[in-house]
Amino acid sequence: MTQSVVVQVGQCGNQIGCCFWDLALREHAAVNQKGIYDEAISSFFRNAILIDMEEGVVNEILQGPLRDVFDTNQLITDISGSGNNWAVGHKVFGSLYQDQILEKLRKSAEQCDCLQCFFIIHSMGGGTGSGLGTFLLKMLEDEFPEVYRFVTSIYPSDEDDVITSPYNSILAMKELNEHADCVLPIDNQSLFDIISKIDLMVNSGKLGTTVKPKSLVTSSSGALKKCHKKPFDAMNNIVANLLLNLTSSARFEGSLNMDLSEISMNLVPFPRLHYLVASLTPLYTLADVSIPPRRLDQMFSDAFSKDHQLLRADPKHSLYLACALMVRGNVQISDLRRNIERLKPSLQFVSWNQEGWKTSLCSIPPVGHSHSLLALANNTCVKPTFMELKERYMRLYKKKAHLHHYLQVEGMEESCFTEAVSSLSALIQEYNQLDATKNMPVQDLPRLSIAV
């Protein structure tokens, strides 16, 4: 079996990672009720690196029930923090902790028989997650060029309380463009909207909604020592469920398992266009609520609806480069094929990849569900998120507001900003060129003649 190493960077990255490990262990406990430490568990649950330049969240994890999961030699913490400054995380702490991080990466890699992937979990808006998280990405490319780099990036909302988050996000985007194999961009606002809808459903009592006392998904109070009553806990759990479904093929058997390398191979036709929009279903049953289950076909329809995307995007009205469907539970290949054929007429794919589907089936469903679906779409609908981010950046940069905080960091120059925004502009232009081909007729290409 192949192995992955999870690298959690910054406060947000560690909180999501903590939720993920808690849910994954509980998922395996539900499957292996005799407590058998099988190959799936031993291959996946031994490789994690926790990095934060403030020690609060990591210390909280180490004082909670998950303290025995992590090797304390695989933790890197500081006490000063990055002060919401990408330059401090990237330039200062990157240089300071480079050797230490590299040593721990090598140690984790040595424990793997077949290391396939590094999962980086971080946020874009702060200092450590964006700065040190993307510094780490370049290190991985240099040290382990053959190992895939999957990044789960949490993008700040318009009303983010970090004023400098547009700077941090744009500077981090340049590194993601150049050094990641796949990026799963997740929007804080989308997560908040989903949680708000769940709260509304509970409070209105619609659809027979009742509160579950011990939900697997959002009852993560066991993961951290304290049970917080913040929307961020439920939001983090949605992201953790994305990772749970993404790694299910590596952890459980299935009739059509998907190797993580296959995601990059099949969904990323061009190196820079590696941003995949994720949707989860059932989504509104992922919280501490009981809602009558959706029919199987409805689950497939939901995965393409605007309300189920983890980014403020509408893939159905944009252009698909490729799409992966990762299904869990008692679902047949015929169910997959039938639903793809049913949905295809309503989805627009690029003319040169009309059959751009990749599918997988894992026999073990999430706890409490008969089936689930994770859809990953390489779709031009990510473009508005990047354009909005650029606009927010330009509003600050035109006034040179807060720029001095970055330029006083050694190694940081104003050219870092101009290069970063140029990189993002070029990415947006690539999506523009693809969008320009929408509604063009699909050419009936001549088939290859085979001499007999």
Torsion (CA) 385, 388, 393, 394 in degrees, nearest 10: 140
Nearest to 170 by CA among 428, 420, 425: 420
- Please give the CATH number for the structural domain made up of 3-219+232-256: 3.40.50.1440
Structure tokens at 211: 């509160």
CATH class of the 384-437 domain in this structure = mainly alpha
Which of the 8 DSSP states describes residue 186?
E
Distance CA(306)–CA(312), nearest Å, equals: 8
- Ranges of the chain whose pLDDT falls below 70: 1, 33-46, 205-230, 284-294, 442-452
Are 92 and 28 in contact, with CB atoms under 8 Å apart? no
Sequence-ordered list of residues with C-beta below 8 angstroms from that of 55, at least 6 positions apart, any chain: 77, 78, 79
Sequence-ordered list of residues with C-beta below 8 angstroms from that of 214, at least 6 positions apart, any chain: none
Q: How would you write 62-130 as a 3-class SS string?
A: HHCHHHHCCCHHHEEECCCCCCCCHHHHHHHHHHHHHHHHHHHHHHHHHCCCCEEEEEEEEECCCCHHH
Nearest to 12 by CA among 114, 134, 121: 121
SS3 349: strand
Strand locations in 136-205, DSSP E?
Answer: 148-155, 182-187
Does CATH number 3.30.1330.20 belong to domain 279-381? yes
Q: How far is CA 233 from CA 28, 220, 371, in A?
A: 22, 8, 24
pLDDT for residue 282:
86
**Phi, psi of 279, deg, nearest 5:** -135, 145
**What is the phi-psi region of residue 368: left when phi exceeds 0, alpha when psi lies from -120 to 50, beta otherwise?**
left
Distance CA(250)–CA(257), nearest Å, equals: 8
Sequence-ordered list of residues with C-beta below 8 angstroms from that of 138, at least 6 positions apart, any chain: 175, 178, 179
Q: How many CA atoms lie within 13 A of 294 on its CB side?
A: 18
pLDDT for residue 160:
80
Q: How many CA atoms lie within 13 A of 72 on its CB side?
A: 6
Nearest to 170 by CA among 432, 382, 416, 374: 416
Structure tokens at 148: 């895939």
pLDDT for residue 222:
47
Handedness of CA 263, 266, 270, 275 (dihedral sign): negative
SS3 387: helix
Nearest to 138 by CA among 83, 187, 89: 89
Domain edges within the chain: 3-219+232-256, 279-381, 384-437
Are 32 and 41 in contact, with CB atoms under 8 Å apart? yes
Q: How would you write 294-336 as a 3-class SS string?
A: CCHHHHHHHHCCHHHECCCCCHHHCEEEEEEEEEEECCCHHHH
pLDDT for residue 219:
45
**Which amino acid is it at 128?**
T
